[in-house]
């Protein structure tokens, strides 16, 4: 059986060790997820209003961050406008500096 080509000087056990490490890490993560999913309880119909309230709060947080991003964009566009107007005014000035 032919083996896959490997880098010169790389030990043979390195590939097997990495595969083992990946298997252990993936297994631990999957085991933790399965353990959490087993402990999740079914949500009653009366408790759904709490989730709706959390969704509304998340909506307002996203809306606020969008407003802050638009404000930052406005500041950048305003700064660019001031620079362009200043450059145009500087070019139109008479004298030795223009």
In-domain check, residue 6: no
Percentage with pLDDT > 70 across the chain: 68
Q: Are residues 27 and 67 in the same domain?
A: no
Same domain, 33 and 55: no
One domain for residues 96 and 53: yes
**Integer Cα distance of 40 and 23 in angstroms:** 26
What value does the mean pLDDT of the chain take? 78
Q: What is the pLDDT of residues 44-87, one digit of tens each?
A: 666 666 777 888 899 999 999 999 999 999 999 999 999 988 88
> Does one domain contain both 55 and 86?
yes
Task: Let me know whether 61 and 79 are in one domain.
Answer: yes
Structure tokens at 88: 């145009």
Instruction: Tell me, yes or no, whether 65 lies in a domain.
Output: yes
Let me know if residue 22 belongs to a domain: yes
User: Please, what sign has the CA dihedral across residues 37, 40, 42, 45?
Assistant: negative
Which residue range forms the structural domain that includes residue 58?
Answer: 47-98
The total domain count for the chain is 2
Specify whether 53 is located in the same domain as 86. Answer: yes
The Cα 17–Cα 64 span in angstroms is 48
Considering the domain architecture, whether residues 51 and 97 belong to the same structural domain is answered as yes
Higher pLDDT, 5 or 25: 25
């Amino acid at each position: 059986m032919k083996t896959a080509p490997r880098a010169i000087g790389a030990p043979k056990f390195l590939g097997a060790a990495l595969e083992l490490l990946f298997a252990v890490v993936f297994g631990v993560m999957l085991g933790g997820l399965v353990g959490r999913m087993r402990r999740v309880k079914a949500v009653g119909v009366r408790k759904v209003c709490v989730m709706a309230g959390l969704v509304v709060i998340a909506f307002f947080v996203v809306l606020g961050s969008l407003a802050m991003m638009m404000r930052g964009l406005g500041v950048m566009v305003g700064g660019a406008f001031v620079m362009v107007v200043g450059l145009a005014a500087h070019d139109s000035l008479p004298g030795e500096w223009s």
